[in-house]
Structure 1
Amino acid sequence: MNIYQHFRPEEREYIDQVLQWKSNVEQQYAPKLTDFLDPREQHILKILIGEHGEVNYQFFGGISGLERNRALIYPDYLVPSEEDFQISLFEIQYPRKFVTIEHRQVLGTLMSLGLKRGKFGDILISEGRVQFFAAEEISHYIKNNVESIGRAGVKLVETGIENAVTAAELWDENELTFSSLRLDTVISGIYHLSRQKSLALIQHGLVKVNWTLIENPSFSCEEGDMLSVRGHGRAKIMGLDGKTKKEKWRITVGKQK
């Protein structure tokens, strides 16, 4: 059976990587800890590792219900603990009375350190408190190299995971109709943009599907896809609800509040 036929062509490299991780755990009988994975990567890993085999997996990102998680792939003798995931939690101290720090500013600052996105987990913002999860192996580097975010001078304080704030994701759900599942068509409908504007956003590298940059307007969207359009926010295809009498797709879409 060709495993690749069940996934998109651009996911082939990651599929090979997961299969190699699984093989290494089987042969070496030792666990493998990954970087933080986005939900699509977690979904693929879950399918490829499978259930009830000699190799198991668990996801953990610091607390339950997070988007980005590290995966621990391990032989069946091991009983994992939270410590095995090697996750640090940082709280950002800044002059909250005078400035506001946004999610994109935190992510931009962290990415400017020259580290992979996979080294950072979720960014949590709740009532002015700003926190983020990171891989333990880079915690000292982060602390020594982040002194400002946006225009605010900041101090990073490493704290226990039990001190994590809860920042619930809220989605506005609507049922929309689309003439096709092409990416440019879907973006036009979700964000109320002209087809020309949607094409320009895609061609200028401002659109991601499942955290992967997509520059092909005819890319076919599927149920569960997460869309991100720079300057317009994120949306998720919650469900494909069939076609109308006029052969248009009925799609349930969630837009992040």
Structure 2
Amino acid sequence: MINLKLDKEKYLVHVKDKNQILNMRKLLDKVEIVLNKSLIQTTDFLDPYERRLSKSILNRFLDIEYEEVGGIDEAERKIIIISPPYVQIEDINNYINALSIEVDNVNLSHRDFLGGILNLGINRSKVGDILIHEGYAQTVVKREISDYILANLTKIGKHKVKVKEIPLDSLKKAEVDYLIRKTTLSSLRLDVLISGALNLSRSISQKLISSGRVKVNWEPIDKTAKDIEEGDIISVKGFGRFILNSIEGTSKKGRIKVELKLLK
């Protein structure tokens, strides 16, 4: 057995987000296990920003391979499976399971389903995407908590639910409803865009950003003057999420015409 000890600080120099340093250290711990013991390792569920950071580290190792899985290709939250190059990952069900949560005569929200799961004492990092459908939801979870949810999730709020395991290939992409809003902006700065999208004053938008309540493409941003690009996804804690869907030229007064998609 190899006993390689990584110089973790060398691999963390480029990570500027202090909130992610501990997570990246844990990732490097898993890399050490793969290199030293030739054992497959998995992360918990990561959002796209966390995966970008993780891959920036994993790509520096030539003698490991990794795969991102989340149940469906379009999944927002995925785990990363890290393995030696000569070990084949045969069954994804060894790492994640899909569950269906059915409820009668009521349509519950994403927040309802997530809250029901987390109220069991489960960490958010163990739960992947929750796909909302008419009368039920599908979700992907780490295998180690699947049986616990099956045995203990019987109610969400006052509503009784039925939970069953389903094949990963039976997951269906959820239809997401957006409200289209066309407006004009003085610039594509983050604070200006939030003001225009959410009908907030510029000063309130700036306070939301500086207080750490804003993410762009899942990355926490505290700079009010950050320029936003077409296709960027902005989330504001307590207000929701929207996309700068398209930039459509300038008005006669020189303002920038944009189309926004606000998640309902």
Same fold (TM over 0.5): yes
Q: Out of 11, 18, 21, which is 1:12 matched to? A: 21
Tell me the secondary structure at the aligned position of residue 13 of structure 2: helix
Is 1:40 paired with 2:49? yes
CA separation in 2, counterparts of 1:59 and 1:74? 12
In the alignment, is the contact (CA less than 8 A) between 2:217 and 2:234 conserved in 1? yes
How far apart are 1:119 and its partner, in Å?
0.6
Residue 74 of structure 1: how far off its partner (Å): 0.7
Are the equivalent residues in 2 in contact too, given 1:234–1:255 (CA < 8 A)?
Answer: yes
User: What pairs up with 1:1-257 in 2 under 5 angstroms?
Assistant: 4-5=13-14, 7-50=16-59, 53-83=62-92, 85-96=94-105, 99-169=106-176, 177=185, 179=187, 181-182=189-190, 184-199=191-206, 201=208, 207-208=214-215, 216=222, 218=224, 220=226, 226-236=233-243, 254-257=261-264
Change (3 A) 1:41 1:247: farther
**CA separation of 1:73 and 1:221: change in aligned 2, threshold 3 A:** farther
Task: Give the unaligned 5+ runs of structure 2.
Answer: 1-9
Query: Aligned to 1:104, what secondary structure does the other structure show?
Result: helix
Mark the CA change 1:35 to 1:185 in structure 2 (over 3 Å): closer, same or farther. same
Instruction: Report SS of the residue matched to 1:44.
Output: helix
- Deviation sequence 1:114-135 (CA, Å, 0-9, x none): 2211111111112333111111
Amino acid at match of 2:131: L
* Structure 1 pair 235–154 and aligned structure 2 pair: CA distance change class (3 A): same
Deviations 1:132-165 (A, max 9, x none): 1111111122123322223322121222223222
Give 3-state SS (helix, strand or coil) of 1:123's partner: strand
Deviation of 1:49 after TM superposition, in Å, equals: 1.0
Deviation at 1:18, TM superposition (A): 2.5
CA pair 32-249 structure 1, distance change in 2 beyond 3 A: farther
1:186/1:27 Cα in 2 relative to 1: closer, same or farther (>3 Å)?
A: farther
**What is the identity, as a one-letter code, of the residue corresponding to 1:102?**
S
Deviation at 1:193, TM superposition (A): 1.3
- TM-score of the superposition, structure 1-length normalised? 0.77
Residue 146 to residue 89, structure 1, CA distance change in 2 (3 Å): same
Contact 2:104 2:135 in 1 (8 A): no
8 Å contact 1:86–1:135 — kept in the other structure? yes
Deviations 1:175-224 (A, max 9, x none): 86464745x4442233221124435655777545555777x574847667
Could you tell me which residue of structure 1 aligns to residue 5 of structure 2? none
**Which secondary structure does the structure 2 equivalent of 1:53 belong to?**
coil
1:139 aligned partner, one-letter code: S
Judged with a 3 Å threshold, the aligned counterparts in structure 2 of structure 1 residues 85 and 51 are, in CA distance, closer, same or farther, namely farther
Which blocks of at least 5 consecutive residues in structure 1 are unaligned? none
Relative distance call for 1:81 and 1:175 in structure 2 (3 A) is farther
Q: Letter of the 1:65 partner, please give it.
A: E
